[in-house]
Amino acid sequence: LSDDELAAIQQAALGDPVLSGSLVSPDGTTTAVNVNLRLPGERADEVSAVAEAARALADELRRDYPELTVQLTGMALMNHAFMEASMRDMAVMLPVVLLLILGLVAFWLRSLLATLAIALVTLASAAAAMATAGWLGYPITPPSAAAPIVVLTLAVADGVHIVRTTSQLMAQGHDRLEAIRESMRVNWGPVTYTSLTTMVGFACLNFAETQPVWHLANMTVVGVFVAWLLSVTALPAMLVRIRLRAREADERSPRFAALADFVTRHYRGVFVVSAVVVGLSAVGVTRLQPNDDFVRYFDEALEFRVATDFTQEHLSGIYRLELEVRSGEENGISDPAYVGKLEELVTWLRERPEVHHVYAFTDILKRVNQTVSGDDPAAYRLPETREAAAQYLMLYEMGLPPGMALSDRINVDKSSTRVTITIGDLQSQEVRAFAAATESWLAAHAPPSMAGKVTGPVVIFSELSERNVRTMMGGNLASLLLISLCLAFVLRSARLAGVSLLPNILPIVVGYGIWGLAVSRLNIVASVAGTVSLGIIVDDTIHFLMKYERMRREKGLSAEEAVRETLVQVGPAMAITTVVLASGFFVLALSAFQMTSHLGVLTGAIAVAAIVNDLFLLPALLLGLARKGEGRASTPVAHLNTELS
Let me know whether 241 and 348 are in one domain: no
- DSSP track, 561-601: HHHHHHHHHHHHHHHHHHHHHHHHHHHGGG-SBHHHHHHHH
571 pLDDT above the threshold of 90: no
What is the rounded distance in angstroms from the CA atom of residue 472 to the CA atom of residue 207? 11
Q: What is the mean pLDDT of residues 486-512?
A: 83
| 290 in Cβ contact with 522 (< 8 Å) | yes
Let me know whether 518 and 598 are in one domain: yes
Q: Which amino acid is at 283?
A: V
pLDDT bucket at 644, cuts 50 / 70 / 90: very low
Let me know whether 214 and 333 are in one domain: no
pLDDT for the residue 104 = 86
Let me know whether 146 and 280 are in one domain: yes
Let me know whether 360 and 489 are in one domain: no
641 pLDDT above the threshold of 90: no
pLDDT bucket at 402, cuts 50 / 70 / 90: low
What is the rounded distance in angstroms from the CA atom of residue 193 to the CA atom of residue 411? 60
What is the rounded distance in angstroms from the CA atom of residue 163 to the CA atom of residue 573? 10
What is the rounded distance in angstroms from the CA atom of residue 361 to the CA atom of residue 516? 44
User: Which pTM does this prediction carry?
Assistant: 0.80
Q: What own/partner pairs with CB < 8 Å and gap ≥ 24 does 406-412 have?
A: 406/364, 408/36, 409/361, 409/364, 410/333, 410/361
- Lowest average pLDDT, out of 151-160, 348-357, 412-421, goes to 151-160
% residues pLDDT > 70 (the chain): 95
**126: number of CA atoms within 13 Å, CB side?**
21
Let me know whether 474 and 519 are in one domain: yes
Coil/strand/helix, residue 289? strand
The answer as to whether 309 is a domain residue is no
pLDDT for the residue 132 = 94
Let me know whether 278 and 338 are in one domain: no
The answer as to whether 311 is a domain residue is no
Q: What is the mean pLDDT of residues 343-347?
A: 95
- DSSP track, 520-539: -EE-HHHHHHHHHTHHHHHH
Q: In terms of Cα–Cα distance, which of 610, 604, 475 is closest to 542? A: 610
Let me know whether 400 and 334 are in one domain: yes
Q: Which amino acid is at 188?
A: W
Give per-residue pLDDT as tens, 519-542: 888 887 788 788 778 778 888 888
Looking at 42, 77, 112, which one is the last position of a domain? Answer: 77
407 pLDDT above the threshold of 90: no
631 pLDDT above the threshold of 60: no
What is the rounded distance in angstroms from the CA atom of residue 141 to the CA atom of residue 84? 9
Let me know whether 88 and 25 are in one domain: no
The answer as to whether 301 is a domain residue is no
The answer as to whether 447 is a domain residue is no
Cβ-in-10-Å burial (0-12, 13-18, 19+) of 35 comes to: exposed
Let me know whether 255 and 365 are in one domain: no
Looking at 27, 54, 77, which one is the last position of a domain? Answer: 77
423 pLDDT above the threshold of 80: yes
| 73 in Cβ contact with 67 (< 8 Å) | no
Alpha-carbon torsion 599, 602, 608, 611, what sign?
A: negative
Q: What own/partner pairs with CB < 8 Å and gap ≥ 24 does 551-559 have?
A: 554/645, 555/645, 558/626, 558/630, 558/633, 558/635, 559/622, 559/623, 559/625, 559/626, 559/627, 559/630, 559/633
The answer as to whether 455 is a domain residue is no
Q: How many residues does the chain have?
A: 645
Coil/strand/helix, residue 419? strand
Coil/strand/helix, residue 36? coil
The answer as to whether 501 is a domain residue is yes
What is the rounded distance in angstroms from the CA atom of residue 594 to the CA atom of residue 94? 15
436 pLDDT above the threshold of 90: yes
How would you classify the pairing of strands 289-290 and 454-455? Answer: unpaired
The answer as to whether 440 is a domain residue is no
Q: In terms of Cα–Cα distance, which of 540, 516, 533 is closest to 616? A: 540
643 pLDDT above the threshold of 70: no
Query: Rounded to 5 degrees, what are φ and ψ at 110?
Result: 60, 35
Let me know whether 195 and 338 are in one domain: no
Looking at 361, 393, 423, which one is the last position of a domain? Answer: 423
Which of left, alpha, beta for 195 (phi over 0: left; psi -120 to 50: alpha)?
Answer: alpha
632 pLDDT above the threshold of 70: no
Give per-residue pLDDT as tens, 188-241: 988 998 888 888 878 877 776 778 878 988 999 999 999 999 999 999 999 998
| 368 in Cβ contact with 397 (< 8 Å) | no
The answer as to whether 449 is a domain residue is no
Domain containing residue 350:
319-423
Domain count, the chain: 3
Q: In terms of Cα–Cα distance, which of 532, 526, 425 is closest to 75? A: 425
pLDDT bucket at 401, cuts 50 / 70 / 90: low
Average pLDDT over all residues of the chain: 85
306 pLDDT above the threshold of 90: yes
244 pLDDT above the threshold of 70: yes
What is the rounded distance in angstroms from the CA atom of residue 525 to the CA atom of residue 427? 15
CA gyration radius, the chain? 32
pLDDT for the residue 639 = 40
pLDDT bucket at 557, cuts 50 / 70 / 90: confident
Q: What is the mean pLDDT of residues 537-561?
A: 86
Domain containing residue 509: CATH number: 1.20.1640.10
47 pLDDT above the threshold of 80: yes
What is the rounded distance in angstroms from the CA atom of residue 444 to the CA atom of residue 602? 43
Q: In terms of Cα–Cα distance, which of 152, 154, 166 is closest to 237? A: 166
Cβ-in-10-Å burial (0-12, 13-18, 19+) of 344 comes to: middle
Let me know whether 30 and 119 are in one domain: no
